[in-house]
Structure 1
Amino acid sequence: MATTQSQRLGIFAALALVMAATRVHISILHHDVWDASWGVFFLAGFWLRGSARWAFPLLMALAVLADYFVITGQGMDFWQHYCVSAAYWFLVPSYFGLWMGGSWLAARKPGLNLRGLGLAAGAMLAGWAACYVLSNGSYYWLSATVPQPRSFAAWFANLGDWYLFFLETTALWVGLGLVVHALATQLGRTLGHADSTKLTH
């Protein structure tokens, strides 16, 4: 949605900062701040549509770097951590599903109305579902930490255990981002109207 390269770089920097800060589990007033990563990838797809060649790989690299910082900071070997299995690399297509959801929404140019809100909700749910099924499924079926024997029934039970938390977290950050988008859009219209009024006098 950003039109100039400077705007895209500014948006990227802001999103990267939010993801890095929350992915390392910062606390505010002794309360952990929920990881914004899923929301960030959706919003990046929305605001940076057309910049996936550079923005998506950089965000992925930042996510891995943050994980490395957290894991090694606890005195553990990154490659031996239970989260870093073969399934870890499925985060790439998982997060790209979120990016594509945001990009799809941007292509529809949603307005600040009920239709736009419906499109945003549908795009977020589709991107979230793709990310959740890929990330959860790959971990369940590929991670050595999941007890044997595995079964589809147990996987579906695991999906049910975690879906609400990840949905709430994603919806929270996407909602905050869309509020910022709405405010910025309205401000831009107001300033543009004020400038046009000056030119007519």
Structure 2
Amino acid sequence: MAKTQTQRLGIFLALAVVMAATRIHLSLFHHDVWDASWGIFFLAGFWLRGSVRWALPLLLVESVLIDYLVISNQGISFWDHYCVSAAYWFLVPAYASLWFGGSWLAGRKLGLNAQSLGLTVAAVLVSWLACYVISNGSYYWLSNTVPQPRSIAAWFENMFDWYGFFLETTALYVALGLVVHGLVVQMSRMLGHADSSKLSR
């Protein structure tokens, strides 16, 4: 579905707002909202394919700014926080892998069929796994907060401790986004069909 630049900006702003609201860890009805960042980068690649030069860098900058504001508001120096180490900058390729997974999926001819479902699941799993291995691995091997001595076995144990939460969260937000996408596409087709029917009379 072709998009105008105005539509692309609208999609970008909506995604940026959702990422900001969830990455700051706002509470709604006294329940913590899960960080949507991983799902947002995948959906951004899917919806904004072709806008990687400006949309991906802006989302990356937004994520760093949010982290800076959250950490600073805790009265902690950004560079002294346990999450910020040499590993922090590996979030750039980690998030980019999600973007390119979504972008790859957008380049396929999708429909309401088993093949499209399989492609979607594969794109999410492969890009999520790349993001998870990069982010978790860089933190384990480069962060000063991980106790010594480090080992491959301990790293794999650490990854298995957290993979379920990150996969579930990413899949949830991607699924919600793709449901919205499907509804918008169907509504657009219905409106287009209604308009063509009027013109043919």
Could you tell me the TM-score, scaled by structure 2's length?
Answer: 0.98
Matched, 1:50 2:50: yes
Of the structure 1 ranges 103-112 and 41-50, higher mean CA displacement relative to structure 2 is found in 103-112
Match of 1:150 in 2: 150
Q: Is the 8 A contact 1:112 1:182 kept in 2?
A: no
In 2, Cα distance between the equivalents of 1:112 and 1:94?
Answer: 29
Shift of 1:110: 1.3
Residue 171 of structure 2 aligns with which residue? 171
User: What does residue 17 of structure 2 align with?
Assistant: 17
Mapped to 2, the partners of 1:127 and 1:3 lie a distance apart of 24
State, as a whole percentage, how many aligned pairs show the same letter.
Answer: 72
Give the deviation of 1:112 after TM superposition.
Answer: 2.5
Residue of structure 2 equivalent to 1:63: 63
Q: What's the offset of the Cα at 1:18?
A: 0.2
- Give the total of aligned pairs: 201
The residue correspondences of 1:20-35 to structure 2 (distance < 5 A) are 20-35=20-35
Deviations 1:33-78 (A, max 9, x none): 1000000000000000011100000000000001011101111000
Structure 1 residues 166 and 78, CA gap change in structure 2 (3 angstroms)? same
Counterpart residue identity of residue 151, structure 2:
S
Q: How does 1:175-186 map to 2 (within 5 A)?
A: 175-186=175-186
Task: Normalising by structure 1, report the TM-score.
Answer: 0.98
3-state SS of paired residue (2:112): coil
The 4+ residue runs of structure 1 with deviation greater than 2 A are: none
Deviation at 1:2, TM superposition (A): 4.8
- Other structure's SS at 1:34 match: coil
Structure 2, unpaired ranges of 5+? none
For 1:2 and 1:11, the matched residues in 2 are separated by 13
Shift of 1:109: 2.7
The equivalences for 1:80-159 within 5 A come to 80-159=80-159
1:40 aligns with 40
Could you list the runs of 5+ residues in structure 1 that have no partner in the other structure? none
Q: CA RMSD in A?
A: 0.8
For residues 66 and 196 of structure 1, what CA distance do their matches in structure 2 show?
A: 46
